[in-house]
């Protein structure tokens, strides 16, 4: 019993001496130092002209991943990141490469190497 009391007393002294909690200070991060989500470059609406008329996709970030919504029927598909500007359309295994203009902004998506979806300026 004496050993337990002695051990408890020593443990109490050690924790109160060496484990002093420092007060938390709020940290302010300026907006220029915040990292933006790299997927934000790929978001927006994209259009392709088909024989039946135009089709529009809306690409957004959902739970940290890119999701394309077909605006003509509401179906959603996940775009899995491969590398750089290259993605894969989940469930279809289609390639989706985002192409950039001279200003380094995304201007279109090349799907399956043949279909060009042009970004709609909003």
Structural domains present in the chain:
38-119 (2.40.128.50)
59 in Cβ contact with 79 (< 8 Å): yes
Element (H, E) at 49: strand 44-50
Confidence of residue 68 (pLDDT cuts 50, 70, 90): very high
- By the 10 Å C-beta count (0-12 exposed, 13-18 middle, 19+ buried), 37 is classed as exposed
C-alpha dihedral over 111, 116, 117, 120, to 10 degrees? 150
Q: What is the pLDDT of residue 4?
A: 52
| Count of residues making up the chain | 122
Please determine, for residue 115, whether its predicted confidence score (pLDDT) is greater than 90. yes
pTM value is 0.68
Q: Rounded mean pLDDT of 1-15?
A: 49
Round the average pLDDT of the chain to a whole number and report it.
81
Q: What is the pLDDT of residue 24?
A: 45
């Amino acid at each position: 019993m004496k050993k337990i009391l002695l051990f408890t007393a020593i443990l109490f002294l050690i924790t109160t001496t060496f484990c002093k909690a420092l007060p938390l200070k709020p940290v302010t991060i300026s907006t220029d130092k915040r990292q933006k989500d790299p997927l934000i470059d790929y978001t927006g609406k994209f259009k392709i002209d088909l024989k039946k008329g135009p089709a529009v996709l809306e690409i957004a970030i959902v739970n940290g991943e890119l999701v394309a919504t077909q605006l003509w029927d509401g179906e959603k598909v996940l775009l899995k990141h491969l590398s750089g500007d290259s993605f894969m359309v989940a469930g279809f295994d289609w390639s989706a490469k985002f192409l950039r203009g001279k200003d380094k902004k995304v201007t279109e998506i090349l799907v399956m190497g043949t279909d060009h979806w042009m970004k709609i300026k909003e």
